[in-house]
Amino acid sequence: MSEFTIRPATADDIPSIEELCLESNDIHYGYNAAVYLSAAETNKPEHTDEEYTQIFTGPDAKMFVAEVNKKIIGLADCKIYREGTFLRYPFAKLNNLVVTASMQSRGHGTKLIQTFHDWARSQGVTEYRLDVDVYNSRAKALYDRLGYQVFTHEMRVDLSNNPHT
């Protein structure tokens, strides 16, 4: 039987985290090469060392990793936003959710999101947000099942190839 665990990420996990992020990049690149770089084109890490330190130790940021038999198979990168100009605060945002392709559709993403919710709730936050690409129907279905609702749309135009601009 497989042993599944979720725990806070540490600096020792960075190589596995980077590997997962490259896998995710290639999936996004496959859907929209005009916006995303392929893993082969990516020449810098997902986060700088300073950003990783903030995520691992800061009070308003957290990264969780999911493991099966002590191998990292997923991650949830989370941040709490406490103040700003025009939005209601605080809210917590799931900046990145990745589960390796071979381990998807087994409930691991749901468990990572539930861990994110539990952490944010323990910090006094009860509103959760995330972004999802329009083509990512599997992720959208997961977020729908968990009660997420669309409240904004991000739009894009390529000015180099648009006759209207």
pLDDT-above-90 percentage for the chain: 57
CATH number assigned to the domain with residue range 4-161, chosen from the 4 options 3.40.50.2300, 3.40.109.10, 3.40.640.10, 3.40.630.30? 3.40.630.30
112 in Cβ contact with 103 (< 8 Å)? no
- Range in 38-42, 84-88, 148-152 with the lowest mean pLDDT: 84-88
139 in Cβ contact with 132 (< 8 Å)? yes
- pLDDT value of residue 13: 95
- pLDDT value of residue 40: 81
- pLDDT value of residue 75: 97
Q: Which of 62-71, 126-135, 152-161 has the highest mean pLDDT?
A: 62-71
Q: Is the pTM above the cut of 0.75?
A: yes
Mean predicted lDDT score pLDDT of the chain: 89
DSSP assignment string, 79-140 = EEE---SSS-S-EEEEEEEEE-GGG-SSSHHHHHHHHHHHHHHHTT---EEE---TT-HHHH
Domain parsing of the chain, residue ranges: 4-161
131 in Cβ contact with 154 (< 8 Å)? yes
Task: Write the pLDDT tens digit of every residue in 120-153.
Answer: 999 999 999 999 988 899 999 999 999 999 988 8
Nearest to 76, CA basis, from 113, 104, 47: 113
Token digits of residue 98: 């990745």
Helix, strand or coil, per DSSP, at residue 65? strand
